[in-house]
Structure 1
């Protein structure tokens, strides 16, 4: 994607002589190839300064003042910080891929000037569940089941994944729901696992395998092809005009019809799961005019319409890494 003339500010917070400071700076240089940014290293020498600057371990990377790898509730700290990749392996610095993804999300957020990116990406915490306690294994089993069958697994389908970690499936699913990785219905059944919905929505995705799945919102739909490594056709409807919008993903390239289509990215000013806060406002529109009309009719949401490339970046950045590349269920058709 093009970052045009925007200059991103990246701050690396470290303790003096941190052995991982040169590592993260070298990875930042690789992640920034072809783009410009202001990068500075700030040495933090006491707990008060760490708290003031938002350092939760050395090194901490801030992109335009925000820590994209933040862990909820993590205290200020001068200790060494560990970063876990999608495979669960811990390192002393974020990977080049994770840094690029964080920069793309930050840039798209800045371009659309809308806070709702937080709802879609859990405030920068990501949609990938932690590996501890079998959460990630169960989450990925749920995603694979959706992709293979088009519907949610039963709780019983997850018993083997949970038992491998000495837990019951009900315990794991309840924890995943509490952390907003899953949505449960009134009977405790899985109703959604971002990006998939177990009930019909306005956003249908036909995979190269011929399987059809429902996406929770427009951004979720745009993330599914990359997450599964498959070609796909996304079909949605403009909520204002009822016109059909189609996005065809072939070999990682997306073609939109009509060419004027945009995505409105918004959220309510309230707390709760993303399904309640944001999904109702993450919609496809045939053009900016109909998006503006919808926004005027729904003053309880705040946000903005984003261009196609920005919407694609958000989808890939949030959902593209939820399944390991070697285990993706579909090939590109």
Structure 2
């Protein structure tokens, strides 16, 4: 988790990141590790508390809002990097990683933990969308949840709380990022012929990367209504028109990505059209991404979701 959040805080900026395994108290004292994980920036722990002694115990981070966590949050890491004059320092205005925090679960990624049957059920849901274009019924997930000794509805509820998916009022799957069980503006057709809806433009771009297959993405420009098509051919993406871009946007409210940003992550036929849409939506903090930037983000977020282990 700490490594993923450091990577998210760097947001593609160049830095040397070293992972050090600390085996005993003497090494903890030598490195200044106040529990695992400890993040050092140029050898200094920016999150150190007065009176804390080096140890190989587990470390808990208390955030400004009173919540606790197993690692510093992305915004805290970015602030620490900026204070140190490091590559996390960013110019004023919205930052790409800030805008995409909800999409990537604030640097925690969208690959569910293996514990408590979460990953087994989550991957079963994703594979159902892949095979049929639709969400599975809860009953079909029972064997995957049973491997962890839990009922399927309980595992789904936990996955929803952690924003790996969303449920409707009846507890049925409404979305499992990158897939949507209800129509959206973004339609993805796999090489197999199966079609499905995606939650947003970034999610759509992540689907062929996640599945390792060719796909065609079709989505209208929200301003002009003109079609944008992205075709994945042997891992190479062809955009039509070639001037197409993606807007990464989010609202200031809190909540799951489906509420905060999914409808503000769209394809546009041109940067001018994207700029026009942002001007028409002052409630959205947004930035225009190039084709390469958008594809890279989709790959980073969704590429690992179905990996074994």
Q: TM-score range by the shorter chain?
A: 0.7 to 0.9
The total of aligned residue pairs comes to 257
Per-residue deviation, 1:185: 0.9
Q: Which range moved further: 215-224 or 183-192?
A: 183-192
Query: Structure 2 length as normaliser, TM-score?
Result: 0.75
Change (3 A) 1:117 1:170: same
Query: Structure 1 length as normaliser, TM-score?
Result: 0.70
8 Å contact 1:270–1:277 — kept in the other structure?
Answer: yes
In the alignment, is residue 265 of structure 1 matched against residue 265 of structure 2? no
In the alignment, is residue 178 of structure 1 matched against residue 174 of structure 2? no
Q: Structure 2: where are the runs of 5+ without partners?
A: 1-11, 32-39, 60-66, 73-87
Change (3 A) 1:151 1:50: farther
Per-residue deviation, 1:221: 0.2
Q: 1:255 aligns with which of 211, 214, 238?
A: 238
**Runs (4+) off by over 2 Å:** 6-18, 43-51
SS at match of 1:263: strand
In the alignment, is residue 159 of structure 1 matched against residue 159 of structure 2? no
CA distance in 2: counterparts of 1:155 and 1:277, whole angstroms: 26
Per-residue deviation, 1:117: 1.5
Per-residue deviation, 1:10: 4.1
Q: Structure 1: where are the runs of 5+ without partners?
A: 1-5, 22-38, 59-70, 77-105, 327-333
In the alignment, is residue 48 of structure 1 matched against residue 49 of structure 2? yes
Which position in structure 1 is the counterpart of 2:194? 211
Per-residue deviation, 1:186: 1.4
Change (3 A) 1:164 1:214: same
Which position in structure 1 is the counterpart of 2:223? 240
In the alignment, is residue 200 of structure 1 matched against residue 200 of structure 2? no
1:132-167 Cα offsets, whole Å, 9 max, x none, are 100000000000000000000011010000111100
Which position in structure 2 is the counterpart of 1:8? 14
Q: 2:69 aligns with which of 44, 68, 73?
A: 73
1:180-214 Cα offsets, whole Å, 9 max, x none, are 11111111110000000001111000100000011
Q: 2:278 aligns with which of 292, 295, 298?
A: 295
8 Å contact 1:12–1:41 — kept in the other structure?
Answer: no
Per-residue deviation, 1:48: 2.4
CA distance in 2: counterparts of 1:271 and 1:50, whole angstroms: 34
Per-residue deviation, 1:324: 1.7
8 Å contact 1:238–1:285 — kept in the other structure?
Answer: yes
Change (3 A) 1:161 1:263: same
In the alignment, is residue 142 of structure 1 matched against residue 125 of structure 2? yes
Structure with the bigger percentage of strand: 1
Per-residue deviation, 1:120: 1.0
